[in-house]
Structure 1
Amino acid sequence: MNNNGTGYNLQELLVAASAREINDGDVVFAGVGVPLLGALVAKLTHAPNLIMAMESGSIGPFPYRIILGIGDNSCVENSICTTSLWRLFSDQQCGFFDVGMIGGAQVDKYGNLNSTAIYGEGDYHRPASRLPGSGGANDIASSARRTIITLPLEKRRFLERVDYITSPGYIDGYNSREKAGLPSGGPASIITNKCIFRFDPETREAYLDSLHEGITVDEIKANVSWDLKVAPVVKTTPPPTDEQLIITRIVDRAGIYTNGGLKNLTFENYMDLLEKSHDDLQLFFK
């Protein structure tokens, strides 16, 4: 339950938690799904000067409608400009992006992400599972001033060491990121379905900072594969505010990202939700 007794689901909590990681004036490289919803909620609440960037090359869009892919027309609605993918990533390598929002199949205690291969009993050349690979994730993790990681909390995903580093976090901890030629950046948080992890400023190791309502420390420890450090005072993750819930439910009125609605999506109800969210979201521009 939220502050005023209105129910919310887990995905809506993740959207709100992602939004809170963003500061007003940040330039954010946000992926489609919960990260993008979080960025939109932030822009429509506490961070009106946030500038979003989409992988397709759109800079500063302010869409009236939910974005389902980087090729959607809504990616360029009200944008500052549209450029190319290579130009966007070049700007990122120049240090122009404050926040990168990424995920993966595995993460380790130093925030390194794997989206390349799950080894199992094999190795890189003969893995148990071959995954999609980096895409732009390595560029984001290497160049953004800070990264926000989102993925479900499962023991098979949270490892002491990932099988393969697709996207670097703090590598081996301490100053190893700097030694590798990445003088700035690194993960700021890992947002999961049960808790939020942050990173020790000296060792660069992830520690438990915040629990979602009803979750225990022991439950978190049982779902990571290393000796997890815990903050001296573990916070309770704030619930979504009424304003955050209203905006989330306007943008994602069909629950595509927040309630499993993608499986029931048809062309007709997709057009209906686009028209209704377009009309509702225009209220925020007046």
Structure 2
Amino acid sequence: MNYTTQEFMVSACSRLIKDNECVFIGVGIPLLAGVVASKIHATNSVLIYEAGGVGAVSRRLPWSISDNATTDNALVATELWRVLGDVQRGFIDVAVIGGAQIDKFGNLNTTVIMGPGNSYQKPKSRLPGSGGANDLASSAKRVLIIMKLEKRKFVEKLDYITSPGFITGREAREEFGLKGGGPEAVITNKCIFRFDPSSKEMYLDELFPGVTVEEVKSDVGWELKLAEDIKTVNPPTAKEIEIMHKIDPLGVVLGSKSAQGNQSFDEYYEIMKKCYESIALLL
């Protein structure tokens, strides 16, 4: 079967979501992963969006976390402060997040990229910041991280710690009083990393088909540890891919296309009509 990198990442992430879990997701690949899981093996899971939609069965692909589609057929349409309060109270089983940089202990940076000679006040790039990611990384029972594997992203030292992973390793999370379990896996476009239960350091656990260990190591900015038995990730199934494309018929996420732009009203109407008609087949 032919499949794209995006389809592979959605599939790999969705399989880590368990039935009966409260799943905190964003848009993009995390959203597709959550919906695929809820339609195949985690049919009793509850999807939660940061803006307050709980248990939505969206009628089209949401463009953002505050899109009205995130409350379609929802169990509850509440507010951001409420769902993040539930995160801090320990009610969220698994959260799916990403970042611009990650280190070997799963700490994430979504705040600034410094660059040589730059400072926090005048960085090379200023990023969106935490949003709800710090709450999720600190308090969710499990955290799944999705990132593209690149050496500039997988770094020895972060320019800024926005969201904590295992901080400095071992018992550091407990020493800082964080209630969540920390990151469980990092899903990339080439492999899946997991964390050593003792040292809490990231290690290579599974490879995508056709990817070599040396290829992965060359994209990591530290001396990467390896599992004793490195496995191969099973590719997406036909059913998983079918569901993905019914959720995202225009390829906004899967094909890196944009359904938003300078369309006329009639063109935009046809885009929305196709989205609603496609996802209706899943409802």
Same fold (TM over 0.5): yes
Which residue among 194, 210, 214 is the counterpart of 1:218? 214
1:261 is paired with a residue of what secondary structure?
Answer: coil
Q: Would the aligned equivalents of 1:170 and 1:177 in 2 still touch at CA under 8 Å?
A: yes
Measured in 2, the distance between the counterparts of 1:263 and 1:62 equals 21
Deviations 1:167-202 (A, max 9, x none): 000000000011011143200111111111000111
Measured in 1, the distance between the counterparts of 2:177 and 2:131 equals 21
Letter in 2 for 1:17: A
TM-score when normalising by structure 1:
0.93
Which residue among 65, 71, 86 is the counterpart of 2:60? 65
Letter in 1 for 2:270: D
2:40 is paired with a residue of what secondary structure?
Answer: coil
Question: 1:278 aligned to 2:273?
Answer: no
Higher relative contact order (CA 8 A, sep 6+): 1
Measured in 1, the distance between the counterparts of 2:259 and 2:269 equals 16
Match in the other structure for 2:30: 35
- Unmatched runs of 5 consecutive residues or more in structure 2: none
CA RMSD of aligned residues (A): 1.6
Which residue among 32, 49, 62 is the counterpart of 2:44? 49
Q: Would the aligned equivalents of 1:194 and 1:211 in 2 still touch at CA under 8 Å?
A: yes
User: Which moved further from structure 2: 272-281 or 87-96?
Assistant: 272-281
Which residue among 165, 169, 194 is the counterpart of 1:169? 165
Measured in 2, the distance between the counterparts of 1:155 and 1:228 equals 12
Q: CA deviation at 1:100?
A: 1.0
Measured in 1, the distance between the counterparts of 2:32 and 2:267 equals 20
Deviations 1:210-259 (A, max 9, x none): 11111100011011011100111111111100100000011111100010
Q: Percent identity?
A: 47
Which residue among 177, 201, 204 is the counterpart of 2:200? 204
Q: CA deviation at 1:274?
A: 3.7
1:53 is paired with a residue of what secondary structure?
Answer: strand
Measured in 1, the distance between the counterparts of 2:83 and 2:259 equals 32
Measured in 2, the distance between the counterparts of 1:227 and 1:67 equals 39
Question: 1:182 aligned to 2:183?
Answer: no
Distance 1:167 1:217, change over 3 A: same
Which residue among 3, 9, 15 is the counterpart of 1:14? 9
